[in-house]
Every structure is written in structure tokens, then in C-alpha cells.
Copies of this chain bind each other. A is one copy, B any other.
Amino acid sequence: METLLPKFDSVFSIDCVIFGFDDGELKILLIERNEEPFKDWWALPGYIVEQDESIDHAAERILYELTGLRDIYMDQFYTFGDVNRHPQGRVITVAYYAMIRLNGNKELKPVSNYVSKAVWTSVNDLPQLAFDHEKIFTRGFEKIRNKISYQPIAFELLPEKFTLTQLQQLYEVILNKKLDKRNFRKKMLNYGILKELDEKQKGVSYRAAKLYKFDKRKYSKLFQKELTFGK
């Protein structure tokens, strides 16, 4: 490979804002750093892209190393490239977000040793974060808030079978406002992307609610359509 390219003292990294929903709370995954700079600080999970891997691959790899999770819906949302965002050199970071299904199991097993631990933290209760990670988080949160308004990404966060009330709670948390129960149900059911199951919620000490499933097929039909601008 020729190298007409100028030499450049720089690094690419990936940072991930990984959302989960649990206990009626929206959470993100934070790690405690075990390396300078910002040793012992909380940070978004992220690491350096390797020389011979694509950034999408790096994002998947890093998420896997930190959580053991694969095949997660992940999307790039912004690239942060201020000169001084990293105290040790020029690091441009590509931020991804992911939404994962907690299903009650919240244990996280960091593999890489640059992390002491990884925990789920409510977005309403975040500690101070290393680097410009607060900025990155904020932008990622805006992104999903925005996106959920026109695409039902919420399903990524819920267990496979869920109640309408859970779905509504999730919308409320992300949009940060109360929604009307009847209107919410009407709208969701009208989309026709929910499959009503013959099952009910279990283990609750009150009337059990019906469970629903997300119907991916019908979803794609509905939302692949062009955005409308009437005729």
C-alpha cells in the first residue's frame, strides 16, 4: 500500500450510549475506568478502533466485550471531533447508540481489563462522566427521543412479550411527559404492529394485563413508506 497520505498522530474511537429499560426507568450502561486518564471515573463504554476493522465492526466488538451481547440494533448518531476532547492526544470518536432488552438480567461481565465494573444507571441519576461523555449522552438521548416520535424503536427495549402499560411507560420516560391511556392505546393498536397474545401477565397482585408482541413484518410495511407530505 502506498502511503501518500500525510502522517497524522491520531486515533479513532467508539463510544456507546446503551439504553435499557427496567423497573420503569430508562437506564444507560456506564463503566468505571481502570486506566488513566480519568481512572476511577465513570464513563460511557468505548474504546479504540483497530487499524483493520470498520467502525461498525468496532462498535459491535466493544459492545460485546462489555456486555456479552450480540445482534443488537445499533446506530451511529454523531461524531465528536473537538481538538481537546481527549487530554492525551487527538481522538475523534464516533458515537453509537444501542437499545437492549434487559429482561430482568442485569448482570454485566466486562471482559476487557480497562474496566473495573459496569452498571446500569438511571438517566435521571447520572454521575459526572469522563471526557465529553455527558455531551455524548445528551445527544444520544435526544436522538432516541426524536426517533421514537416517528419510529417504534421502543420495542427494542421491552421484553418480547409486554403489556400496553409497559409500552406506554417507556414512551413516557423517553418523551418525559404523561400520555393519555386511551389515546395511546388507540394509536398503538391502530398501527396494527402489535400482535395480541393469548397470554396474560403473571405474578402481579392485581388484575393481570394482556400481553402483546411486536410484529416486525407489519412494522416494515408501515414504516418503510415514504414520509408523508400529502399530495
Contacts and interface: CB of A to CB of B under 8 A. Distances in A.
Interface stretch (A18-26, A79-87, A103-111): A79-87
A50 to B, nearest CB: 9
Given A54-B81, A94-B79, A88 B5 contact: yes
Interface residues of A, number: 54
Say what secondary structure dominates the interface of chain A. Answer: loop
B149 A8 contact: no
Contact of A175 (B49, B178, B229): B229
Copies of this chain in the oligomer? 2
Contacts of A76: 78-79
Interface in A4-18: 4-12
B81 A49 contact: yes
Contacts of A87: 1
Contacts of A179: 229-231
A91 interface: yes
Contacts of A180: 230-231
Contacts of A92: 12, 49, 55, 92, 94
Contacts of A117: none
Contacts of A83: 52-54
A191 to B, nearest CB: 13
Contact of A146 (B86, B90, B187, B227): B227
B88 A2 contact: yes
Given A36-B4, A79-B79, A79-B94, A229 B88 contact: no
Interface in A146-185: 146, 149-150, 171, 175, 177-180, 183
Closest 5 CB pairs of A and B: A55-B81, A149-B227, A79-B79, A5-B89, A54-B82
Interface of A: 1-12, 36, 48-49, 51-56, 58, 76, 78-79, 81-83, 86-92, 94, 145-146, 149-150, 171, 175, 177-180, 183, 187, 226-231
Given A3-B89, A4-B36, A49-B81, 4 more contacts: A5-B48, A6-B48, A51-B90, A183-B230
